[in-house]
Amino acid sequence: MGQLWESFIMAFKDVFANKTRSFLTMLGIIIGILSVSLMGTAISGINNTFENSMDMMGNDVLHLQKFPWFMKGGDWWDFRNRPNMKVEYAEKILQRSKKISFATPEMQNMGNIRYGDNSIQGVFIDAANWQLQFVNSLDFSAGRFYTKAEDRNASKVVVIGYGIKDNLFPSQNPIGEEVRIRGMKYKVIGTLKEQGKFLGLFSFDNMAIIPLRSAYSIFGRRKHMSITLKVREGFKVDEAKEEVRIIMRSLRGLKPVEKDNFAINQQEAFRQQFSAIKMGISGAGFGITALALLVGGIGIMNIMFVSVRERTKEIGIRKALGAKQNVILFQFLSEAVIIAVIGGMIGLIITTSLVGLLNKFFVASLSIELIIISLSVSIITGVLSGIVPARKAAKLDPIDAIRYE
């Protein structure tokens, strides 16, 4: 053990005796580890954000709409010519269905919100009935959702997302304050907890929820509408979907030969689409990583061959003094692994500083698992690229080696 430790220390000194060369050799590994750790962090960040977004959508929620989320085949005009969704469907489905517990029509629109002199453009305004709080499991940081009565009376009350609260009321309790939505006065009655951005692009936090009836006067009745349905607990989403389909066909009076003229969307569709994207990212990431590590590994191997040649005499002396093959092997293998691991660590340090940048788009952090994986990959690369030169060193004939100048 002592001998191997000494070999390791000697290898360490040798790496630092040739700082520039060692650093240049590390570059490939640095890029490889940077790529694997950054890609891993990005994927897990995207994944977290995606799951958060999915949770907000609810995985037991069905979206009854005119268009499917991801059109596979079919003529856009066929979809376009379908009849629009109607507000009363929500009530009718709720009456007829056993498997749906809550239903709300939803109208969504962009608008601006103003409070005093401050205003925010491009707010996502969601108009729904009082059941929305049960359909989407809304988390409140303060206040409450609007009541059935407020909903029926088209009260001008609003629940605001974290982003709006943060912008309009940075250091003030917004509850009870009046904001203007498209010029109309609304009273803030609740604020939601932070949700994060959807795929780093679109924030649910930049959302305001108002009673559906109150929205008619600002959006009109003819806006795109969808019906959002919550599957009753204990029932499978697919069964509920089938039930809703049958109810809708009967509401629309469709004959058996006619195709559905509506779409029932669920987050599963997103998930499928997302996993394809994720595979694409990880595939590309894996490719870059493998290529960088291969180049890095060859770089280390090359420099180790140079190192063995340069130190042939030294190896001869060590062998004459009684160094066994495995001691010499270990010394050179250590050198390769040290170069690879230091390269890996530099890569990880760069990643850590870049994660801050990623965080501007979505919540991401470098996980312990990823650090362990990165360092393991470094060690393996070091061993694979160092083994051949190290074996060459270990097998040198002491007489020839000691005479080498």
Partner 1 sequence: MALLELSNIFKTYKIGSVEVHALQGLNTVIEKNEYVSIMGASGSGKSTLMNVIGCLDTPTSGSYLLDGLTVHSNDKKKSKLDDNELAEIRNQKIGFVFQTFNLLPRATALHNVELPLIYAGVSKKARMGKAHSTLIEVGLGDRMHHRPNELSGGQRQRVAMARALVNNPSIILADEPTGNLDSKTSAEIMVLLDKLHSVGNTIILVTHEHDIAEHAHRIITLLDGKVSKDSKTKNGSKNKLINNN
Give the footprint of partner 1 on this chain (CB under 8 A).
2-3, 6, 13, 17, 313-314, 316-327, 398-399, 402
Closest CA to 58 of 115, 123, 114, 132: 132
Kindly state the smallest distance separating residue 339's Cβ from partner 1, in Å: 18
Q: Are 377 and 33 in contact (CB under 8 A)?
A: yes
Beta-carbon contacts of residue 4 (< 8 Å; ≥ 6 apart): 327, 330
What token pair was written down for 47? 């994944």
Question: In terms of CB distance, is 290 or 320 closer to partner 1?
Answer: 320
Kindly state the smallest distance separating residue 316's Cβ from partner 1, in Å: 8
Question: In terms of CB distance, is 117 or 405 closer to partner 1?
Answer: 405
Cα 142 to Cα 157: distance, rounded to the nearest angstrom: 15
Closest CA to 374 of 292, 261, 260, 275: 292
Kindly state the smallest distance separating residue 298's Cβ from partner 1, in Å: 27
Question: In terms of CB distance, is 235 or 404 closer to partner 1?
Answer: 404
Question: In terms of CB distance, is 4 or 277 closer to partner 1?
Answer: 4
Cα 110 to Cα 123: distance, rounded to the nearest angstrom: 5
Q: Is the dihedral of CA 23, 29, 32, 35 positive or negative?
A: negative
Question: In terms of CB distance, is 17 or 201 closer to partner 1?
Answer: 17
Kindly state the smallest distance separating residue 332's Cβ from partner 1, in Å: 15
Q: Check residue 61 and report its DSSP letter.
A: E
Q: Check residue 172 and report its DSSP letter.
A: S
Question: In terms of CB distance, is 13 or 236 closer to partner 1?
Answer: 13
Instruction: Tell me the Ramachandran region of residue 178: left when phi exceeds 0, alpha when psi lies from -120 to 50, beta otherwise.
Output: beta
Closest CA to 184 of 207, 165, 211: 211
Question: In terms of CB distance, is 142 or 402 closer to partner 1?
Answer: 402
Kindly state the smallest distance separating residue 364's Cβ from partner 1, in Å: 45
Kindly state the smallest distance separating residue 335's Cβ from partner 1, in Å: 14
- Phi/psi of residue 322, nearest 5 degrees: 110, 15
Burial category of 234 from C-beta neighbours within 10 Å (exposed 0-12, middle 13-18, buried 19 and up): exposed
Kindly state the smallest distance separating residue 395's Cβ from partner 1, in Å: 8
